[in-house]
Structure 1
Amino acid sequence: MKNFSTGAAWSLAGRRAAAVMLACLAAGSAHAIECRFRPNAPDQHVVVKGDTLWDISGAFLEHPWCWPQVWGMNRDAIRNPHWIYPGQIVYFDRRNGRLTLTRPGGADADAGQPPLVRLSPQLRTDALGPDGAVPAIPSSAIEPFLTQPLIVENDTLAGAARIAAVPENRVYLGEGDRIYVRGDLNGATSFQVFRPGKALVDPGTGRTMAYEATFTGTARLVTPAGNGADVHSFVVTRSVQEMGIGDRLLPTPPAVPRNYVPHAPQQPVAARVMAVPSEVNYASQHQVVAVNRGALDGLDVGSVLQLYHLGQKVKDPEGRRKGLLDFSGATLQLPDEQYGELFIFRVFGHVSYGLIMQATVPVQVGDVAKSPE
């Protein structure tokens, strides 16, 4: 997270702004999270390019993801807080315990605020915002994970069509080349092509949950199987890596809803970090990790989890022999230590992608990610 001075950032406040100590019930969560202003919160901030709503809120709030509650997003009628722009000034009205775009003590504290809007059951918003508005989270870090099959769960892999043959003497397939595909297309005509990679193993159970997938390109159906042919004829429409026999095909997914309103999960979730960026053992702020929980476990897009290092067992330094009992091998269980926060932005059945929003130490495979406390 950025280090802010008295120019630290935040975004629009609602008409009913939060009190200095506000018990915030996260949308749909089973328990309340205290959403407090920081004791050293600045008086104002000039919004600059590169700010995000998460970073901005972290300068004013102890829990950065509380900004929807500060805006009153759990109410039926609120102001739309998402679109703020570089150059605007956000003020902390300490007397009234709220944030405003108008200098405290001015004639109209709500001047320049967006009009009231009525929410549907879920508020969806584009990460980038319109016309240069400040995004909710660093969108560039997650864009590749929104459009490509970088995780493929076991049941999906088992049912995926595969490239069964390519034209003779073809080593590298490029745009316009033919490929021949075996398998059920389920009525789709446009596909993404991928190659299954490293198994993603649940740190708790040792069970393979899914596979990393290398995106190799896209292909379009030309002629379905039939009339004596056992395979479908496809044409390669894009090739980003070598594509060949054995690669799998998945239908091009619809646009991923970008419901980037942070909230606690609707039910308690205890996940483990299952994978970090390829070829490395650690991850840091604004990198993506995979966890071993998904939609079937209570996660949805926008869920926030707290990151912990799993408490270790250590030898008790005071362990000693007492009478006939030997305590020399006694151990102590250390507590899990919280060190960061994870924002879930893409969810599968039992696997999800999360963006590390804050971390004071590196994230490792096996670390705990659970509902805020």
Structure 2
Amino acid sequence: MKNFSTVATRAAAVVLVAVSVLGSASAATQSPAPTCTFRPDAPDQHVVVKGDTLWDISGTFLRNPWCWPQVWGMNRDEIRNPHWIYPGQIVYFDRARGRLSLNRPGSGGGGDGRGEPPVLRLSPQVRSESLEQSAVPAIPAGAIEPYLTQPLVVEANELAGAPRIVASQEGRVYLGEGDRVYVRGELKGSSSFQVFRPGNPLRDPQSGKVLAHEAAYLGSVKLVSAAKPGVDVHTFVVSNTLQEMGVGDLLVPAPPQPVRNYVPHAPLATVDARIMSIYSGVTYAGQSQVVTVNRGTLDGLDIGAVLQLYHFGKTVPDPESKGFLGMGRSTLKLPDEQYGSLFIFRVFNNVSYGLIMQVTAPVQVGDVAKSPE
């Protein structure tokens, strides 16, 4: 495992300010909570290198990577909108204070007397990529990239009012890049849309209620001209296709630039969820695979939240209970067995997508995913 840290970009791109310790004075000197303890073999420092992730870096120092905000004194705003960390920076373990820092312990920090870290200046150098691209991601970016910009699920309210392709240029059955299509429905000011086809229902394992439908992503279209008086449809052009699209397929506004800068943390509210589906429809999943859970923003989940995975405790016959031919015996409920972690990276109202992190057993539909204990 590796390590993890935090830095704020100021007006000049070459000047980086380490994350401020904005917690209370007492919190700044307290050790992490009992569940947020440092590893006994934690190093004194870690030099951030290309390929590191925040999850790996925090796991180098901490037993639980989601404890990172606590040992850095981060508030909720910083967790939602953290600052970048870059290769070449050093994360120090201040053993006396039980904290992590970008300042060498005992160096005085060079701050302003309030415990804030000093300004770090990068040496002038030629960069072949932007600062954002060179920053350390929270988790392996390639594992979730395809899921960040596609309409993974469609909730009931979106299905009901989604614009729909009602005709195509020259009556073509299947559409390709550059083809014109005609769309009926309310655009609500958007001009760039993704085209999807509703797929399998996502059913809550606990209530049986359909929370949303999977969305088969087909491609994207751009508005050419909105419907004019006396015309019932808007004119679009197909900008790209991933699968064949045609009349009857639905549109959803293209999402804003996805959030990639987030910190592993425990959910703000207590969450008790179930694995609802495994992406690609397989029966079991392992590390670095994607699953859905039956909880979302309405339940207190946000991007970067970490849930612990448990196999649901079985109910077994009580061996000390007597019954006629095994009938009528009492039963015992076994505890849920914790076996891994789930990193939430995309959240909808009632459904969230998570990346399976460390696991010691296969993940399956119905497994428990809940707040760290």
TM-score (norm 1): 0.80
Distance 1:286 1:326 in 2: 43
Contact map agreement 1:20 1:37 (CA 8 A) in 2: no
SS in 1 for 2:341: strand
1:366 counterpart letter in structure 2: G
Q: Distance in 1 between matches of 2:282 and 2:77?
A: 45
Quick one: which of 5, 9, 26 aligns to 2:3?
A: 9
1:139 to 132, 138, 141: 141
Do structure 1's residue 115 and structure 2's residue 118 form an aligned pair? yes
**Residue 22 in 1 paired to residue 32 in 2?**
yes
C-alpha displacement at 1:211, in angstroms? Answer: 0.8
Deviation per CA, 1:150-187: give whole Å up to 9, x if none.
Answer: 11111111111111222346343112101122222223
Instruction: Please name the residue that 1:223 is paired with.
Output: 225
Is the contact between residue 346 and residue 352 of structure 2 (CA under 8 Å) also seen in structure 1?
yes
User: Deviations along 1:229-269, whole A, 9 cap, x unmatched?
Assistant: 43322211111210112210012222344461333323222
- Do structure 1's residue 245 and structure 2's residue 239 form an aligned pair? no
- 1:184-239 residue CA offsets vs partner (Å, 9 max, x unmatched): 22232221111111111110111111111111111122233355443322211111
Letter in 2 for 1:175: E
Residue aligning to 2:362: 362
Unaligned runs of 5+ in 1: 24-32, 118-127
* Contact in 1 for aligned 2:297/2:350 (Cα 8 Å): yes
The whole-number CA distance in structure 1 between the counterparts of 2:226 and 2:306 is 44
Q: Match of 1:65?
A: 66
- The residue that corresponds to 2:176 in the other structure is 174
* Aligned residue runs from structure 1 range 94-243, under 5 A: 94-100=95-101, 108=107, 110=109, 115=118, 130=132, 132-168=134-170, 170-243=172-245
**Matched residues in 2 for 1:130 and 1:188: separation?**
27
Q: For residues 50-89 of structure 1, what are the structure 2 equivalents within 5 Å?
A: 50-74=51-75, 82-89=83-90
1:34 aligned counterpart, secondary structure: coil
Counterpart contact for 2:82–2:262, Cα < 8 Å: no
Q: CA deviation at 1:313?
A: 1.3
Q: Determine the structure 1 residue equivalent to 2:257.
A: 255
Go from structure 1 to structure 2 and tell me whether the alpha carbon gap of 1:101 and 1:76 turns closer, same or farther (over 3 Å shift).
same
Shift of 1:104: 5.5
- Structure 2 portions without partners, runs of 5+: 7-17, 22-26, 121-129
RMSD of the TM alignment (CA)? 3.3
Percent identity between the two aligned chains: 65
The AA in structure 2 aligned to 1:202 is D
1:285/1:260 CA distance change after superposition, 3 Å: same
Q: 1:231 to 1:84 in 2, by over 3 A?
A: closer
Q: Is the 8 A contact 1:15 1:110 kept in 2?
A: no
Q: Please say if residues 343 and 357 of structure 1, whose CA atoms lie closer than 8 Å, have aligned partners that are also in contact.
A: yes
Deviates more, 1:93-102 or 1:199-208: 93-102
CA gap 1:332/1:51 in 2 versus in 1, 3 angstroms = same
Give the corresponding residue for 1:26: none
Counterpart contact for 2:292–2:351, Cα < 8 Å: yes
Cα distance in 2 for partners of 1:368, 1:256 equals 27
Give the SS at the match of 2:69: helix
Tell me how far 1:52 sits from its aligned partner.
0.8
Alpha-carbon distance between aligned partners in 2 of 1:163 and 1:41, rounded to the nearest angstrom:
57
Deviation, 1:96, is 4.6
Greater share of residues in helix: 2
Q: Tell whether the 8 Å contact from 2:19 to 2:117 is kept in structure 1 after alignment.
A: no
Deviation at 1:47, TM superposition (A): 2.9
For residue 329 of structure 1, what is the aligned residue in structure 2?
Answer: 329
Q: Which AA in structure 2 matches 1:269?
A: V
One-letter amino acid of the structure 2 residue matched with residue 255 of structure 1: Q
- 3-state SS, counterpart of residue 218 of structure 1: strand
Q: Match for 1:254: what amino acid? A: P
For 2:224 and 2:280, the matched residues in 1 are separated by 35
Equivalent position amino acid for 1:362 in 2: P
Partner of 2:24: none
Closer, same or farther: CA 109–99 of 1 in aligned 2, 3 Å: farther
Partner residue in 2 for 1:290: 292
Structure 1 match to 2:35: 34
C-alpha distance in structure 2 between counterparts of 1:93 and 1:225, whole Å: 63
Q: Which residue of 1 aligns with 2:13?
A: none
Amino acid at match of 1:22: P
Q: Tell me the secondary structure at the aligned position of residue 321 of structure 1.
A: coil
* TM-score, normalised with respect to structure 2: 0.80
Amino acid at match of 1:334: L
User: SS of 1:144's equivalent?
Assistant: helix
Does 211-220 or 354-363 show the bigger shift? 354-363
Report the Cα offset of residue 289 of structure 1.
Answer: 1.6
The number of residues matched between the two structures is 343
Query: Partner of 2:274 in structure 1?
Result: 272
Residue 68 of structure 1 aligns to a residue whose secondary structure is helix
Q: Is the 8 A contact 2:137 2:261 kept in 1?
A: no
Q: Distance in 2 between matches of 1:319 and 1:308?
A: 28
Judge conservation of contact 1:193–1:216 (CA < 8 Å) in 2.
Answer: yes
Matched-pair contact (CA < 8 Å) for 2:67–2:266: no
Q: Tell me: CA distance 1:261–1:282, structure 2 relative to 1, closer, same or farther (3 Å).
A: same
